[in-house]
Structure 1
Amino acid sequence: MAIVTQTDKRSGITYAYETTYYWDKEKQQSRSKRVCIGKVDPVSGEIIPTRGRAKKGEAKPSKSLPVKTGPKPFTETKRLYFGATYLLEKLSDQIGLTADLKTCFPDMYKKLLSVAFYLILEDNNPLYRFEKWNLTHKHPYGQDIASPRSSEMFASISDDQVARFLKLQARRRVEDEYWAYDSTSISSYSETLNQVQWGKNKEDDKLPQINLLLVFGEKSGLPFYYRKLAGNIPDSKTVKHLLEDLDILGFGKTKFVMDRGFYSEDNINGLYKEHVKFLVGVKLSLKLIKSNLDDVYDDIRMFNNFDEGLNTYGLTVSAEWNYTQDRPYIGDTLEEKRRIYIHYFYSIERGADEEQAFDKRIATLCNELLENKEVEEHRKAYARFFEVKDTPARGRQVYYKEDEIKAARRYIGYFALITNEKMDAFTALHLYRMKDIVEKGFCNIKEKLNMRRLLSKSEKNLDGKIFNEFIALILISCLDHKMKETDLYKSYTMQQLLDKLDVLECYEDENRALRIGEMLNKQAEIYETLGIELPTSSC
């Protein structure tokens, strides 16, 4: 039991409350009961019982009598976990995240940061558990954010505020770097959201979905743009709008790394038109790619094209792209040649795995035909690789089409990238593999930040929640980048590092400066390695 004081902002009167904490077994939450026991005298600090609170038969104090000096009201002292939230707060300050949020959301930036910290530290816990976390952790907002209040906060976030925030983040990014762009699908149980549609689900969920696009900086390792769109829109349709959005947000000229799902002739023409540098994965079956590969096929797997570290062969070919541009203001179509570079690769490990998988597939298809257990989805493969004859005397006979099988095996283990910027093959491959940071970002959003399934029923609420998840993703990506740079992953996973710091306590008292509990050497080493000043009792 404790006595807590609170000042009414309208009247200026300070009231004293008797507070009792208890555990609600039904809701599995810590709860509290407060009973007003009187007003606090501003001169003496004595608690004066309010009307009806004095004991029966007890005379009320006379106004003419001097007030006796009594004990000062008890002030609650809190012991809170502090180490991990302190780290996240300092990282947020370092990368300008706090400053940009404060500029765009002056009334709620502390709430946004506290929710982001909670999402990071409470792995896979839903937001209604914030109340319990608030009782044990020091965080920027410093108060409980009940589930209805967080929903109201998400719904109040406007598109203008988000756009302004992204513009401010854009000014902090390095311009001369490649940007990795990719998308993922997020499944949803909701039947009321307009953008939840059936599409190509990248995790093979049997649910409708929305699509989420992310852009990461290749050097900074930080996300700085995102967009939510309908689940039935393919990746190849998004590049044009991406370029328009980044131009509006003031990102200037860009360099993109994209996988082959974003390849289309219209997209490449659009990138040329906007003078954007690009590095894009492509299918070997494309006419331009296949014809140039056949010309150098015997040269790729030569010793002088081998990278021992990557265990991969690489060769670059200069070719011509047939550029077209519709010009409605003139009424014609511009057609000309543009320089393009094709990087071909052969991976020994990939080739071995794909050859084995291909041979197993051919054997499976053959057995399906022999046993007369054809699968409808395999009809094209049957026709391409086999000839089947059914006779009354000999029954079913299945023959391999060896030329077709050899042709299909010819390109196993090979892959290709195209770019309009001159570079050697292995530099291109290194940049392309930096795209993995986006995949890591999607993994963090779905697993660590608990967004594998959407349960929101309101479009505005969902938009606000995704924005808050994006803030948390920026912080996770910043910590991930620093841990890679400092080799901390050799000693800890990210969760182990956060858990190591999360046990560091602080002591809050209204009448005293913040005090920090005992800090272990391992905790101090983590802060110092990450470039974070050690927390002190004056924090």
Structure 2
Amino acid sequence: MPSDTKFNRKSKQVSKYYQLNGSRRRIVVGVYTEDGKMHVNDNFRVHYPELWEKYYGKIDPLHHQVCMGLYAAGLGIGHYTGLYQDLLDAFGPQSCNASMDFALYSLREQSSTAQLFQEAMETQMLFSRKPYSDAWYSEFFRMTLTESKIHDFKIRRLRRFAEQNRKVWLCIDGSNNDCVVENSELSAFGESKSHNSKPIVSYIWAVDASDARPVTWFVNNGSTPDCKAFDEVIKFLGDYGIGVEGVILDRGFASNDVINAITACNLDYVVMLKGKFGGFRAMFEAHANDIHWKVEHAVSDDGVFGLVGHHKLFDKSPEMSCIGLFFSGVSNSCRFVKLIGRVRKVTRELRAQIRANAAGRSSSPNAEADPNAGLVIPSDLKNILSFRTENGKIVDVECNNAAWQQAGESGGYFAIATRTDKTAEEIYNLYRLRDACEKQYAIVKTQLDAHTFRVHSDAAIHGRMAVCFVAAVLRTEIMNACKALGLDTNVMIRKLDSLYCLLAPDGSYRAILKHSNALKALLEAFGIRSEHWQFLANEINEQNAGPVYAQVRKLPEVVKRGRGRPPKTEAQKAAELQGKQAGLSGLPKRGPGRPKGSLNKKTIERMEREKAEGIEPKPKRKPGRPKGSKNRSTIEREQREAEQLQNVAPIKRGPGRPKGSRNKATIEREKQKDAERLMNEPVKRGPGRPKGSKNRKTLAREAAIAKAGFTVSKTSLRQHRKAPKSGD
């Protein structure tokens, strides 16, 4: 806490007080923790820029665009597989986030060079607060990721793998990388995969054969054979209750010690045998001709034939084993063609050399030279080719066609041994699962660029391999999801950048939804839905606002839009799993409210009142619709019939006048009769005097006026009526 700040003991807010326009003002710059320290916020950056730069570094300008698709995939896979939690528990938050970031970098850039990390991940959303430099990662691999932490991480991964409660076949294989670390206990000369005659470091991986998911790994001295390194792996797997059905091994593990170690763990095995082993020789001598292009022994669609027998694996083996002998028609044809070409080429070269030696002797007969100089048959062709000599001089090359034919026809055979009795087709199909291990080594060496250790100490080698294992887990999950969706893995990894957020004018980031349906389906396979994307953008805004209080990255529980129940939380899933393991029914716990089947208060009061009044309760209806109601089919049928009646058009009459009508002649005749009847009949007036006649009083008055000599008009009559009446 700066000296000019104070904190509230109740709210723990750290505030700075200052004067503004003569009044005292307060601004919160952080939250008090203990011992005079605090968690700062963005106000602290504004009011104490020197302290901010001292403890948190200089704030760089914000990028206009931040890609969050790669981070979203890593976050989803990390929680979906439990990988992130295992890293968090074993390494701690900072090292866990740094490991996830470097693993995602290896996926995106197909590179393991730490010098390119900071530039490549500058515009990527990261698990860490910022992209670290190559010097930081060099120290991280060398000092931070100790062997004890790495071993703890291995144990946690194996325990999680054992919780799946399923039997699996494991593919175990080894490889090596070139290494020039000085004074190294791991680097030693051995059979280098690169054939560069450099010191190497060996490592061995165990892979789930069903889906190619990595299980565990070990780093060994470069001179350690795979068969000796196997003992550590198989004992490590056996101590943690891994449900292993058996192991699938290459011919490099075919040794008596390895077989004894597998048998001691009570596991089955499927192992390729070398041609020099007694089991291979015995099966070849007894059954080679029986399966040579014999369709009744076909075990696959690609021209592989096989049968099984029981022989000792090695000459000194104490017991018999089930051994399958196989013949690959494609491999035999390719080998035979290659052998034919090589024998003919070597023959031409040797004969040309013989002619050159003869020509040299004839041009200088006195010269002392070796007449057979340069004439050497390759060691693998000595049973096919030989020299014909005369007087100690080689004059020609001869070919043993029988040996040539036998060598060509003997190619394409291989033998696979197993502990339990199986058919030839079962043995062959199981061994083909070893392709899962080959895929992992292809991913490690090519897609993750881990074919060389670019470090300076043995501790850094262990750290690099641990992060490489994390990257392999992430890429395998993406590969399996893309395979299920029919997508290309590398293409989809690059398309993850199309999910990004854009810097808005107010300085905050907004999620831009310009993704494809394929990318949406891929992210949904890891539990990342569209409801999460703005949450990720808000997380970037919180990181830019100030120091991150909690470094643990969590996938929020969001409810999917539309109808349906919200997804189950991790706690609910764990409770259901625990209930099933304990033998419980696993019924969901009821939410708030009265117990199922109970009555509310109003119903109880009504029932008590009716009982007091002697009213018998109505019998409860049985399940079904109310009495007198109609089912859905009846209602729908009646609606259809009503609609049909409304839509029926009136029936159109045929030719002719309407029914009940009269023709024109009849109508005219009736009209004429009516007219004649009206003319002949007198018109009878209704009640009252005739129209225009005068009543008696009017006639008497007019007569009196006329007798007096006056004239009468309508006007005068009106005036007379309006005048007041006199008594005269």
Structure 1 counterpart of 2:497: 502
Q: Are the equivalent residues in 2 in contact too, given 1:344–1:415 (CA < 8 A)?
A: yes
Structure 1 counterpart of 2:171: 180
Alignment of 1:16-415 (within 5 A): 42=15, 66=24, 79-107=65-93, 108-124=95-111, 126-154=113-141, 155-173=143-161, 175-251=166-242, 255-300=246-291, 301-307=293-299, 309-321=301-313, 336-338=318-320, 340-370=321-351, 371=353, 379-392=378-391, 395-415=394-414
Q: Supply the distance in 2 between the matched residues of 1:188 and 1:484 (Cα, whole angstroms).
A: 34
The alignment status of 1:520 with 2:520, answered yes or no, reads no
- Residues 52-90 of structure 1 show CA distances to partners (whole Å, capped at 9, x for unaligned) of xxxxxxxxx799764599xx8889765310112211220
Read off the aligned partner of 2:429 and give its amino acid letter.
Answer: H
Structure 2 counterpart of 1:37: none
Q: Supply the distance in 1 between the matched residues of 2:26 and 2:471 (Cα, whole angstroms).
A: 54
Q: Secondary structure at the match of 1:181?
A: strand
Q: Secondary structure at the match of 1:418?
A: strand
Q: Secondary structure at the match of 1:452?
A: coil
Q: Are the equivalent residues in 1 in contact too, given 2:383–2:403 (CA < 8 A)?
A: yes
Q: Supply the distance in 1 between the matched residues of 2:144 and 2:3 (Cα, whole angstroms).
A: 29
Q: Supply the distance in 2 between the matched residues of 1:317 and 1:253 (Cα, whole angstroms).
A: 26
User: 1:355: how far off?
Assistant: 0.6
Structure 2 counterpart of 1:470: 469
Gaps of 5+ in 2: 7-13, 28-42, 47-58, 355-372, 537-728
- Residues 314-357 of structure 1 show CA distances to partners (whole Å, capped at 9, x for unaligned) of 22223345797xxxxxxxxxx8424x221222222111101111
Read off the aligned partner of 1:422 and give its amino acid letter.
Answer: D
User: 1:158: how far off?
Assistant: 2.2
Read off the aligned partner of 2:110 and give its amino acid letter.
Answer: D
- Distance verdict in 2 for CA 1:393–1:261, change over 3 Å: closer
- Distance verdict in 2 for CA 1:196–1:62, change over 3 Å: same
Gaps of 5+ in 1: 1-7, 15-40, 49-60, 325-334
Q: More strand by proportion, 1 or 2?
A: 1
Structure 1 counterpart of 2:454: 455
Q: Secondary structure at the match of 2:122?
A: helix
User: What value does the CA root-mean-square deviation take over the aligned residues?
Assistant: 3.4
Q: Secondary structure at the match of 1:536?
A: helix
Q: Are the equivalent residues in 2 in contact too, given 1:77–1:507 (CA < 8 A)?
A: no
User: 1:471: how far off?
Assistant: 0.7
- Distance verdict in 2 for CA 1:194–1:336, change over 3 Å: closer
- Distance verdict in 2 for CA 1:361–1:234, change over 3 Å: farther
Q: Are the equivalent residues in 1 in contact too, given 2:343–2:381 (CA < 8 A)?
A: no
Q: Supply the distance in 1 between the matched residues of 2:413 and 2:4 (Cα, whole angstroms).
A: 76
User: 1:428: how far off?
Assistant: 2.3
Q: Supply the distance in 1 between the matched residues of 2:99 and 2:473 (Cα, whole angstroms).
A: 13
Q: Secondary structure at the match of 2:534?
A: coil
Read off the aligned partner of 1:358 and give its amino acid letter.
Answer: L
Q: Supply the distance in 2 between the matched residues of 1:519 and 1:196 (Cα, whole angstroms).
A: 49
Read off the aligned partner of 2:336 and give its amino acid letter.
Answer: E
Tell me which structure has the larger Cα radius of gyration: 2
Q: Supply the distance in 2 between the matched residues of 1:375 and 1:422 (Cα, whole angstroms).
A: 52
- Distance verdict in 2 for CA 1:520–1:65, change over 3 Å: closer
Q: Which has the higher contact order (CA 8 A, sep 6+)?
A: 1
Alignment of 1:409-424 (within 5 A): 409-424=408-423
Structure 2 counterpart of 1:35: none
Q: Supply the distance in 2 between the matched residues of 1:414 and 1:96 (Cα, whole angstroms).
A: 44
User: 1:248: how far off?
Assistant: 4.3
The alignment status of 1:537 with 2:525, answered yes or no, reads no
TM-score between both structures, scaled by the size of structure 2:
0.59
Q: Supply the distance in 1 between the matched residues of 2:499 and 2:375 (Cα, whole angstroms).
A: 60
Deviates more, 1:289-298 or 1:389-398: 389-398
Q: Secondary structure at the match of 1:453?
A: coil
Read off the aligned partner of 2:203 and give its amino acid letter.
Answer: L
Q: Supply the distance in 1 between the matched residues of 2:528 and 2:521 (Cα, whole angstroms).
A: 10
TM-score between both structures, scaled by the size of structure 1:
0.78
